Each structure stands twice: as C-alpha cells, then as structure tokens.
Structure 1
Amino acid sequence: MNEFWTAVILGIVEGITEYLPVSSTGHLILATELMGFDQKAWEVFNIAIQPGAIMAIIVLYWRTFRDVTKGLFTLEKGAIAFIRNLLVAFFPAVLLGLAFGDTIELMLGNAELVAWALIIGGIAILIVERMAVTTDHGGVGAVSLRTSIAIGLVQCLAMIPGVSRSGATILGAMSFGVDRKTAAEFSFFLAVPTLAGATVYKLYKARNELTVDDMSLIGIGSIVSFVVAVIVVKAFVSVVTRYGFGPFAWYRIAAGSTALVWLYSR
C-alpha cells in the first residue's frame, strides 16, 4: 500500500477514535501492527495528525470558544473558571510527559499492552457507569477547581497506550460526580491543549528527521481526521445521551480480546 492511502487510513482511525473512550493511540498502534506498517516510521505521524481532531472541536464548539474569549476580556466569572479548569487539568500531563517521555515512547510500540488496556478499560467503564452518582453541573466552567485537578490527574493514565485520554477524563469526571454531558465536554475541551502540546513536543523532537514528504503526509492525515472527527463527535454526543458509555465498554472488551487472540496466534 502506498504512503498516501496509509495516511488516509490512519487519519480515518484517528478521527473515529480520538474523542470516543476507546483509545485513538491504541487503535493507531493496532492498525499499524495489523496492516504490517513500520511502527517506528509512522510513530511521529500518529501523533502529528492530532491537530485535525483539535480543529474539529474548535469548529463544532466555536460559539463556546467565542463566548469564553469575550468573557475573558470582561472578566466574566464563568469564562475565567472555564480556562482555569482546563489549565489545572492539563498541567499534570505536562509534568508527567516531560518527566517520563522516553518511557512513554517505549510503550507506544507494545500492541499487547494496548489490547490488555482496552479490556481493562472496558470493564472500568461498566463499573463506573453502574456505580457513579452524578449531578448536572451545567458546563465545564461550573466544575470545581478541586474536581478539575482530580480529572487532570486521572487523565495521566492515558499515557499508557490503550487506556484512552477521553475515556480517562470522562470516567474520572463521572467518578467525581460530574454528569455525562459535562464530562464529555470537559474531555473535548481538555483535548485542545493536551493534543496540541503532545503534537508540538513530538514534532520538535523529530524536527531534524522530518522531510517535506513527511509533512505532506501529516497534512493529509490531519485533514482526513478533521472531517471524520466532526461527524463522529456529533454522533457520540447523541449515543451517550441515549445509551450511556456501555456500548463503548463492550466494544473495548471485544476489540481487546480479538487483538490478543490475533497477537498470540501469529
């Protein structure tokens, strides 16, 4: 398969999985393994196409970003709380990423770890869905500072490939009493600084290795992931509102189990 179609396929995988609690990084690792791609060659690409998914959230929630920006200029409490909550939730991932970046990168090539993380994460979703007692918070700006810090700490679990950044933040938020809709939106908005930071850091580290062709492929993957993510996020909110996160839990368990069978039988 030529590199153009590889970039398209991985862009589709990123767009579908980034905001679902199923682990985009885990799926990209498994997709790379399943299709026989050189894991090392596509490692930077898999991170660098995340701006496409970031733009999907900015486009879908442009009114929220507009209102928060306007509110900051007028020192509106809700806007300040919105930014404060995202920053304190983002900060733990920055510290951990800088401290253990090399260890995290070593895990990115472990498809077996991804499979087990998918299964365990699916079971965790089922448990939280059944046991969490939540109340309607009415938006990210209404979440307390303490809860936002706790969500940020839970998000750090997603540095293990297969755990899922969105899954960790959503389940963490619900465990601390945040309702499903606000938990999902917290995950969406927190993705903007988190994914942007990870992309900039990865591109900076690989700056001497990237070619013009590499950047072209990253551009293709980003565009594809943007289009797909816009569609998926709209559908995701609808599914969660009606059915909760159970369907994603069972999918994770099935996908992880299938991956383990395949990996052990090769």
Structure 2
Amino acid sequence: MNENIIAVIIGIIEGLTEFLPVSSTGHMILVGSMLNFEGEIASVFQVFIQLGAILSVLFIYREKFVQMLQPRKLSLYGRGLTAQHVLAGIVPVMGIGYLLHSPIKTYLFSPYTVIIGLVAGAVLMLLAEKLTSRPSTRDVDQITIKQAFFVGLFQVLALWPGFSRSGSTIAGGLFFGLSRKAAADFSFIIAAPLMAVACLYDLLKVWSKLSSSDITMFAIGFAVSFVVAYISVMWFLRFLNNSSLAAFAYYRFVLAAFSYYYFFVR
C-alpha cells in the first residue's frame, strides 16, 4: 500500500482514538500490524503524529493554558486550575514512565498485550460508572491538588498499551468525585504537556535516522491527526453531557474479541 495512504489511515486512527477512552496506542499497534506497517520508521511516525493531536488540544483549551501561565495562577492557593494541578497530575506517570520506558517498549507493544489492556481498561471504566455516586466536582476549575494527584496515579495504568490514558484518567476522576465532563477536561489538559515530553523524548533518540523522503508522509499524518483529533474531542465533550463511558467499554470488548480472532485464531 502507498505510504501516503497509510499516513492518512493511521492519522485518522490517531486523531479518532487519542483522546477517546479506547487506546490510541492499542489501535495503532493493531492497525500497523494489519497493514504490515511496522519497524523503526513506523514507530517514529506513530509518535510524531501524536504531536498533531496534542496541538488540537492546545488549541481547544488555549484559554486555560494562557490562564495557568499568568502569575496569579501560579499560586498553590489560587482559584481555578493552576500549573500545580497539572504537575500533580503528570509527575507520577512521568517518573514511572521514565524508569520503565525500555521494558515497556520492549515487552508490551504487541497485539496480545493490547488485547489484555483493552479488556482490563473496559472493566475499570464500567466499575467507575457503577461504583461512583453523585460528583462533588462538576467543573475542572474546582479540582483540588489531591484530586489531581490521584487522577494522575490512575494515568500510570495507561503505560500498558491498550489501557487508554484518557480512559484511565476519566475513570480515576469518577472515583475521586469529578463529573465525567470535569474528568475529561482535566484528562485532556494534562495530556498536552505529558504527551509533548514523551513524544519529543522518543523523537530525539531516532530523529537522525529519518530521511528527507519521510517528510511528506509525516506531514500528512500530522495534519490529518490534528483535524480529526479536534473534531473527536469536541464531539466527545458534548457526548459526556448526557452519556456514560459504558458504550466505549463495550466497544473495547468487541475490539479485543475481533483482534484475538484476527491475530490468534484465523
């Protein structure tokens, strides 16, 4: 298959799944295997196009990020979402991710581990919907540092491909008193700096191995990822106003069953 068509397909997959609770990494591993798009260049491409999705979130939440950078927002006791909330949400996963980066990349990036992550993440989301009561925090600006930290701990689960970073953090938010909308907003906001650091870390290690012939493919994937992610996030935020995470959990079960059949039965 033409590499530019592959770039469009994977760009769409990344944009659709990066911020939905279905695991973008899991989808890209599965789709990459189906398209036989694997190896070092494929891995770099999949990391690079995440920057397009990150840019869409920076654009959607641009006012929040500008406010957090203002001096009055840098106080631990300031009103509204602060830089400290974001740090509390990303420090746990950054520390553990840095320590376990090599074994995760070596042992967990396979269809089999993704299937396990899809099922486990779906169960977590259903438990969060079933066991949580009326939320005490309905707006992301009301979140406490303690809530931000514990939601960040749930994000560690997403280091296992297929678990889903947004699924883990939104479920964690529900467990600690956030509404679905507030949990999703916080999940997306802390995703931007976290993903940017992780992407740049991966890219710097292999950037020298890319050639000028890769530029077109990477640019197409980046642009497609940005546009589709923007549409996906805006739709998802509206969806959460009246719906639960259950539909995504059931989708994950179906995808896991299909993937198991495709890779291990047929």
- Scaled to the shorter chain, the TM-score interval is over 0.9
Are 2:12 and 2:228, in contact at CA under 8 Å, matched by a contact in 1? Answer: yes
Question: Judging changes above 3 Å, is the alpha-carbon distance between structure 1 residues 74 and 31 closer, same or farther for their aligned structure 2 residues?
Answer: closer
Deviations 1:197-246 (A, max 9, x none): 11110011113212223344222211101100111111111222212111
CA distance in 2, matches of 1:70, 1:87: 16
1:121 aligns with 2:121: yes
Are 1:29 and 1:39, in contact at CA under 8 Å, matched by a contact in 2? Answer: no
Question: Judging changes above 3 Å, is the alpha-carbon distance between structure 1 residues 64 and 22 closer, same or farther for their aligned structure 2 residues?
Answer: same
Aligned to 1:98: 98
SS in 1 for 2:210: coil
**Letter aligned with residue 36 of structure 1:** N
CA distance in 1, matches of 2:74, 2:2: 52
Correspondence 1:214-253 to 2 at 5 A:
214-253=214-253
Aligned to 1:173: 173
Deviation of residue 40 (structure 1)? 3.9
Deviations 1:96-144 (A, max 9, x none): 1221111111145311110121122112211211111242424334212
Aligned to 2:54: 54
SS in 2 for 1:220: helix
CA distance in 1, matches of 2:40, 2:206: 12
**Letter aligned with residue 155 of structure 1:** Q
CA distance in 2, matches of 1:134, 1:211: 53
Structure 1: gaps (5+ residues): none
Aligned to 2:260: 260
What TM-score does the superposition give when structure 1 sets the normalisation length? 0.93
CA distance in 1, matches of 2:101, 2:214: 22
Deviations 1:165-221 (A, max 9, x none): 111111111111111111000111011011101111001111321222334422221
1:34 aligns with 2:34: yes
Moved more, 5-14 or 36-45: 36-45
Aligned to 2:17: 17
Are 2:14 and 2:24, in contact at CA under 8 Å, matched by a contact in 1? Answer: yes
Between the aligned residues of both structures, percent identity stands at 34
Question: Judging changes above 3 Å, is the alpha-carbon distance between structure 1 residues 74 and 92 closer, same or farther for their aligned structure 2 residues?
Answer: closer
Structure 2: gaps (5+ residues): none
CA distance in 1, matches of 2:187, 2:218: 24
SS in 2 for 1:242: coil
SS in 2 for 1:77: coil
Deviations 1:141-168 (A, max 9, x none): 4212122111111101101100001111
Moved more, 196-205 or 86-95: 86-95
Are 2:151 and 2:173, in contact at CA under 8 Å, matched by a contact in 1? Answer: yes
**Letter aligned with residue 46 of structure 1:** Q
How many residue pairs match? The answer is 265
Aligned to 1:66: 66
